[in-house]
Amino acid sequence: MSTSDPLVRLDGGGLESLFNRFPGPIRWLDCRFDLKDVQAGEGRYLEGHIPGAVYAHLDQQLSGLKGSSTGRHPLPSVDQMKERFESLGVSSDTTVIAYDDSDMAFASRAWWMLKFLGHKKVRVLNGGWASYLKAGGPVEKGRVLPEKGHLSVNLQKHLLVEVSEVASLSCLVDSRDPARYRGEVEPIDSVAGHIPGSLNFFYRQNLSEDLKFKSPDVLRSMLERLYSSGSAPTFYCGSGVTACMNVLACEVAGLTLPRLYAGSWSEWIREPKRPVAKGA
């Protein structure tokens, strides 16, 4: 069972201590993003953000270069991840708190990348920007230019699954909505369906109506069945972003941290010979 909560919760009037409840420096990462308008998130950041927050762009900081064999949001190399987080002001002693203004998927991507690098002091703001505003938090405008950080890497290779490993996995879980999983609709990628043998657990099932995580007990009751094979599941989605939300939910539930197939569906279908399944 996990001994620490990976979420920063504002429930119960916790705003008063928000900026001093963690020892050492804090770096807020504003991860707001819109897949349909890739500049919109940064624009909203400039209009107002948590004081001291720096902007982490999904395409520019949290993804690598797309290629003919990659998915839509491939991971940067380890050296690139380290350099980019350092440019965002993250050091080894920094507590990082990521947030966005949708369903915490983009913030979860930043959280997962730092966990992969071995950074232990990283959390996600539960409920994101809306929760912060509702709590009456102060707002700062403009761009924050942080001093370069110095981040040590202790790579957690076991958290990442490569495409060559997918066929041998005992429990692979598709994080997309059920209609996309079944192949009934596909609004983004060129091929509809799912990886044969994968289960489906829509990442938004983790959220309550106010777009905060459900309680650890409720999450555990939903997610622990995915561990029935005796090992932690591997999650994927369309491009390796929303699957990070399911990984985070397992951490919130106190379950063993799952693995991530970061290339996900958009990488899988790059090779026409790879099989595709449809239906439930």
The answer to whether residue 233 is domain-embedded is yes
* Same structural domain, 100 and 225: no
**pLDDT, position 12:** 60
Triad 225, 117, 221: Cα angle to 5°: 15
The answer to whether residue 275 is domain-embedded is no
The answer to whether residue 70 is domain-embedded is yes
* Same structural domain, 263 and 172: yes
Strands (E), 44-107: 54-55, 95-99
* Same structural domain, 150 and 18: yes
If 0-12 CB within 10 Å is exposed, 13-18 middle and 19+ buried, where does residue 127 land?
buried
The answer to whether residue 150 is domain-embedded is yes
* Same structural domain, 168 and 149: no
* Same structural domain, 128 and 193: no
* Same structural domain, 82 and 219: no
**pLDDT, position 13:** 55
**pLDDT, position 81:** 98
The residue out of 93, 121, 155 marking a domain boundary is 155
CATH number of the domain that 118 lies in? 3.40.250.10
Q: Using CA atoms, how far apart are residues 81 and 240, in angstroms rounded to an integer?
A: 15
The answer to whether residue 1 is domain-embedded is no
User: Considering 31, 171, 237, 244, which one is annotated as catalytic?
Assistant: 237
Residue pLDDT tens, the chain, 280 long: 334 789 999 876 567 667 778 888 999 999 999 999 999 999 999 999 999 999 999 999 999 999 999 999 999 999 999 999 999 999 999 999 999 999 999 999 999 999 999 999 999 999 999 999 999 999 999 999 999 999 999 999 999 999 999 999 999 999 999 999 999 999 999 999 999 999 999 999 999 999 999 999 999 999 999 999 889 999 999 999 999 999 999 999 999 999 999 999 999 999 999 999 999 8
Q: Are 8 and 97 in contact (CB under 8 A)?
A: yes
* Same structural domain, 13 and 105: yes
- Residue type for position 130: A
* Same structural domain, 150 and 37: yes
**pLDDT, position 8:** 94
* Same structural domain, 111 and 209: no
**pLDDT, position 229:** 84
Number of domains making up the chain: 2
- Which domain covers residue 60, as residue numbers? 7-155
* Same structural domain, 96 and 44: yes
**pLDDT, position 3:** 43
The answer to whether residue 262 is domain-embedded is yes
**Could you tell me the two tokens for 94?**
């920094």
Residue among 82, 86, 78, 40 nearest 59 (CA): 40
Active-site residue, 237 included: yes
